[in-house]
Structure 1
Amino acid sequence: MKSGTYNIDLEFNQILDLVRQLSKKEKLRLSRELEKEIIDGKLTSLLEAFKTDDLDQETIDREVEIVRSELYAKGKTT
């Protein structure tokens, strides 16, 4: 059997009525799926906010080495 994509227009209250008919197990599953979707959206937004062409791997490596050196030096003095 071939599966397809179906779109239907539902108002929020109709969706809420459907959710109320779900079992506890199904509600938990739906909750996890919604949470995942929200987290994915937030992560995508965050990554887009930090996306830049001004930062290359060499710059990142240089900064990492500076921080490592500072932490090493701080560890030696304590």
Structure 2
Amino acid sequence: MEAVVESRARLNEVQRLAYDLYAASFSESNADARFMMLMMALEALIDDIEKLLAQSGLPRWEVALPLCVAS
């Protein structure tokens, strides 16, 4: 955590929105509302995830497969 603070990493607007939605989900008492906020946070990051996948050069299924097997 100290390394992140020292690096002064900055979030772009979309990442900040996703973080705010994630953080706000903890104050929700309704499970459906909490789930919806978490899904909105993930959806906000889809473009960033797509860019990372494109840069990795891996086919999408190779990235998603370990996630499916782990759950």
* Global fold match (TM > 0.5): no
Q: Choose 1 or 2 for highest CA Rg.
A: 1
TM-score by structure 1 length? 0.30
Which structure: greater helix fraction?
Answer: 2
Higher relative contact order (CA 8 A, sep 6+): 2
Provide TM-score, normalisation by structure 2.
Answer: 0.33
